[in-house]
Amino acid sequence: MANLNIRSRQERTYQAIVVGSGISGAWAAKELCDLGVKTLMIERGRNVEHIKDYPTTNLLPYEFEHRGQIPQKIQEENPVISRCYAFREDAMHFFVKDTEHPYVQEKPFDWIRGYQVGGKSLLWARQVQRWSDFDFEGPARDGFAVDWPIRYKDIEKWYSHVEKFAGVSGNKDGLAHLPDGEFLPGYELNVVEKYFAEQLKKHYGNDRHMISSRCAHIHGNAEFYAQQGRALCQNRNLCQRGCPFGGYFSSNSSTIPWALKTGNLTIRPDAVVQSVIYDEEKGKATGVRIIDRLTKETEEFYADVIFINAAALNTNALLLNSTSNRFPNGLGNDSGLLGKYVAFHNYRARVSGEYEGHSEYTTSGGRPTSGYFPRFRNVYKQETDFLRGYAAGFSAGRGVGPDTSGIGMDLKNSLLNPDKYGPWRVGSHMMGETIPKETNYVALDPNLKDEWGMPQLKISVDYDDNDEKMVKDYIEQMTEMFTKAGFTNIQSNDSKQAPGLDIHEMGGVRMGKDPKTSLLNANHQLHAVPNVYVTDGASMTSTSTQNPSLTYMAFAARAAHHAVAESKK
Amino acid sequence: MNRRHALRHIALISGGLALIPSCDFSKEDILAAYENLKVTASQKALLGAISDTIIPAGEIKGALNLEVPDFILVMVNDCFTKENQDKFTAGLTAFPDYVQKTAGKKFEALSTKEKEELILNGTKLEGDDTPEGKERGNLSYFLNSTKRFTIQGYMASEYIQTEIIPYSLIPGEYNGAVLISDLQKPRING
């Protein structure tokens, strides 16, 4: 392979390198740049610039050749990505196709990836709930995984820090297990969602709540966000195309342009990081080796501190591939646990129903969020035959549709004057905590390689008995709550979807107090290589139930400040 | 409404480059659909006549004015499995004989009312495993698919979404409790 190290070493040396430009990597880069650190952010995919590279953002429905549908041939060639809810004609260019980046499914695992500058931050569902100590204390209390080395007090101010900058809308709900944050005005629940929240109060006292889900959308304080070049969310609900207003938070709309403005950020797209370079004499990492995605040539970059934010499973893959005499089994892998204790969120079950009440009402306009049902199982003490619990999404809506049974002028007039209001439809989906286990792991395939000569990742992750019990309980409990609220035609469904489709894969490089049983310390440094930080999903010791991105952002910001403080010692 | 239009305008300006739409289909895709599905000129005319029966022209344009048959064929060609494509084309091929048998005339020779009845009845045909049953199954599959794509292609057309029921990229702030009785909708006469 050609070696491109023709530029002087000095030209290829920065103070910090961040691998990955998704939600956590770009946060690390933004904080480092704000603190005056010359930072190189490396991204394996192509560059995507805010607005300029959102080709579908203002297209009207009739401008999509198949009106949104993915052609059959693409679906047949790419079965995994075709199962993702957001893989549609308007956003398919932001998703990795199965055929482009193969991996090995030792057990079925739908690995959903976005290889471009901004990563999946362009595509995420933008739901941002804080963790509390009921989450951080979970493993220690319930005896699984290892104890988190941090608690809510360690991360609280960093949640505030990232919420203020990203823009988070929500209400002060006063729930101990879902702490309030720095909120812009929250979005309104509709009349039936409010009704359901009241019914929960009536039937379950103060145990079960349904709130407006906190979301990373700008819903107030427009002047502040104008400094980032972002504007108020326009309720378009076309977020996955990239937002020309910057109404929701993404790396592309927010942290990256901000970091670029400092003059301290260099972005190197189209660079697959092959390994982290470890210097045995110095006893630390000195840089990374990349393979140019297009030319396949290799090049090295150097820095004092390295952040690995390649997205959970790719962070595992990179560390596993970074071998040396000192670390023959992967960088920092003295414990032998690198790649193990991978977990995810259990999204298998849904419950839906109808409500005949409030029939005089409907809704108008749009909103970027819906209802959120915080965990109520096993919060204060163990009370079921399974560990932990689940959160749930909840929404009610009412459509007006035409009668399409006829033909000719009758059909035409009906289509142009839709006036058939059905009942309100209510729906909920579970977001269950899964228990990290040594047997749920990722590893490098010893034989198969990708186009860049990188070993393919082998994924072996499955549900367990705890997950099955939780699915059953969710369906029972949600059905009971729907019944008590007077909903009818209640249906439940267990999709049995493979892990991964939740797009909340976590762990493998977990945090912990003891280097024998964890990879990262309380500051997100590899125990054995402290100038390497991991602050993405790979670092998660347990999963809890909240959508995890907000926590990665807070981790990244906190770790970046720690790295800078260390460098000044 | 003015405010929303103004906002859309801003979106369009800020999203500048995204503005030139490759609207609807390229000629190549349409030709590919005709070629791959082996659609003859008379079948194309028939499909036009059927879609025009499903949504006829009046004060407001109908399906045929909007070239909905092209949309139907591109969708069948690009978004159907091979198996369903075969059912669709078998139904299209069998349709003229079916018309002759049930109505004793060619489709073009029927009155509007007869055409409508024939199509509606055709969508309700039930198939089984006998050769005749398979043909009935193909016919109803063809007619139901054609009706579904006619509705989709018509309603999601540039004409309807700009001139008749303008689509808004900016739907406005959410109101979670709107009294239906307060809504005033203009009556659009087809």
Domain ranges, ordered by start, for chain B: 25-168
Q: Where are the alpha helices (DSSP H) in A402-501?
A: 409-416, 465-484
Pull the structure tokens for residue A550: 């907000």
Using 50, 70 and 90 to split pLDDT, how confident is the model at B34?
confident
Pairing of strands A424-433, A390-397: antiparallel
Does the pLDDT value for residue B19 go beyond 70? Answer: no
Instruction: Report the residue of B112, B174, B183 to disrupt the A interface, i.e. the one with the largest count of A CBs within 10 Å.
Output: B174
Pull the structure tokens for residue B95: 């349709």
Nearest to B14 by CA among A49, A446, A529, A430: A49
CA distance linking residue B46 with residue B140, whole number of Å: 16
The count of residues in chain B is: 190
Task: Look at residue B190 in the predicted model and tell me its pLDDT.
Answer: 78
Instruction: Report the residue of B180, B183, B184, B187 to disrupt the A interface, i.e. the one with the largest count of A CBs within 10 Å.
Output: B180
CB A4 within 8 A of CB A296: no
CA distance linking residue B110 with residue B98, whole number of Å: 13
Task: Look at residue B85 in the predicted model and tell me its pLDDT.
Answer: 97
Cβ contact B183–A362 (<8 Å): yes
Task: Look at residue A74 in the predicted model and tell me its pLDDT.
Answer: 97
- Is the dihedral angle over the CA atoms A331, A332, A337, A342 positive or is it negative? negative
Cα-to-chain-centroid distance, residue A243: 18
CB A355 within 8 A of CB A362: no
Instruction: Report the residue of B30, B123, B173 to disrupt the A interface, i.e. the one with the largest count of A CBs within 10 Å.
Output: B173
Pairing of strands A16-19, A265-268: unpaired
Q: What distance in Å separates residue A237's CA from the closest CA in chain B?
A: 9
Does the pLDDT value for residue B189 go beyond 90? Answer: no
Nearest to B54 by CA among B153, B121, B125, B146: B146
Instruction: Report the residue of A48, A234, A400, A420 to disrupt the B interface, i.e. the one with the largest count of B CBs within 10 Å.
Output: A234
Q: What is the mean pLDDT of chain B?
A: 87
Tell me if residue B182 falls in helix, strand or coil: helix
Does the pLDDT value for residue B7 go beyond 50? Answer: no
Low-confidence ranges of chain A (pLDDT < 50): 1
Backbone angles phi, psi at A314, to 5 degrees: -70, -30
The DSSP letter of residue B169 is: S
Using 50, 70 and 90 to split pLDDT, how confident is the model at B27?
confident
CB A564 within 8 A of CB A37: yes
CA distance linking residue A365 with residue A363, whole number of Å: 7
Task: Return the exposure string of A48-85: e unless at least 16 CB atoms fall within 10 Å of the residue's CB, then b.
Answer: bebbebbbbbbbbbbbbbbbeebbbebbeebebbbbbe
Cβ contact A409–B56 (<8 Å): yes
Tell me if residue A406 falls in helix, strand or coil: coil
**Chain A residues near residue B156 by CB distance under 8 angstroms:** 61-62, 67
CA distance linking residue A276 with residue A390, whole number of Å: 37
CA distance linking residue A101 with residue A496, whole number of Å: 25
Tell me if residue A507 falls in helix, strand or coil: strand
Dihedral, CA atoms, A189, A195, A201, A203, nearest 10 degrees?
A: -150
**Chain B residues near residue A234 by CB distance under 8 angstroms:** 7, 11, 169-170
Nearest to B176 among A191, A234, A360 (CB): A191
Cβ contact B112–A413 (<8 Å): no
- Which residue in chain A has the smallest CA separation from B113? A408
CA distance linking residue B149 with residue A209, whole number of Å: 43
Nearest to B178 among A187, A244, A361 (CB): A361
Nearest to A242 by CA among A59, A64, A26, A505: A59
ipTM associated with this complex: 0.91
Owner of token pair 């705890």: A466
CA distance linking residue A210 with residue A213, whole number of Å: 9
Cβ contact A366–B172 (<8 Å): yes
Q: What distance in Å separates residue B133's CA from the closest CA in chain A?
A: 24
**Chain B residues near residue A193 by CB distance under 8 angstroms:** 176
Task: Look at residue B18 in the predicted model and tell me its pLDDT.
Answer: 35
Nearest to A503 by CA among A329, A347, A310: A347
CB A391 within 8 A of CB A478: no
Using 50, 70 and 90 to split pLDDT, how confident is the model at B29?
confident
**Chain A residues near residue B181 by CB distance under 8 angstroms:** 360
Pull the structure tokens for residue A51: 């607005």
Locate the DSSP E strands across B14-131: none
Pull the structure tokens for residue A463: 């549900």
Render pLDDT for B120-169 as a digit per residue (tens, 0 to 9): 999 999 999 999 999 999 999 999 999 999 999 999 999 999 999 999 98
Does the pLDDT value for residue B14 go beyond 90? Answer: no
**Chain B residues near residue A417 by CB distance under 8 angstroms:** 185, 187-188
CA distance linking residue A415 with residue B190, whole number of Å: 9
Cα-to-chain-centroid distance, residue B127: 24
Domain ranges, ordered by start, for chain A: 184-213+345-433+463-498
Cβ neighbour number for residue B149 with a 10 Å cutoff: 24
On the CB side of A371, CA atoms within 13 Å amount to 25
The DSSP letter of residue A385 is: S
Owner of token pair 């059953």: A472
